[in-house]
Amino acid sequence: MVNLEEVRRKAKERLAPFCKVCPECDGRACKGQVPGVGGAGMEVHLFQT
């Protein structure tokens, strides 16, 4: 059986450097980066929704 820690470790390996695999994917850690949830620029609307 696969546990969450193993899933997170593999995700970090496969998605780096585009995704930091944060505990909560809210775009704050990748703000201003493309590609990524944070997107380009300030992306203020991302945090307002």
- The Cβ of residue 29 has, within 10 Å, a number of other Cβ atoms equal to 16
List, for residues 1-35, the tens digit of each pLDDT value.
889 899 999 988 998 877 888 888 777 777 777 66
Distance CA(43)–CA(3), nearest Å, equals: 33
Q: What's the pTM?
A: 0.55
Residue with the two structure tokens 């703000």 = 31
User: Does the pLDDT of residue 37 top 80, yes or no?
Assistant: no
Distances (CA, A) of 9 to 15, 16, 27, 35: 10, 11, 19, 20
Domain-wise residue ranges, the chain:
4-48
Task: Please give the structure tokens belonging to residue 15.
Answer: 């998605």
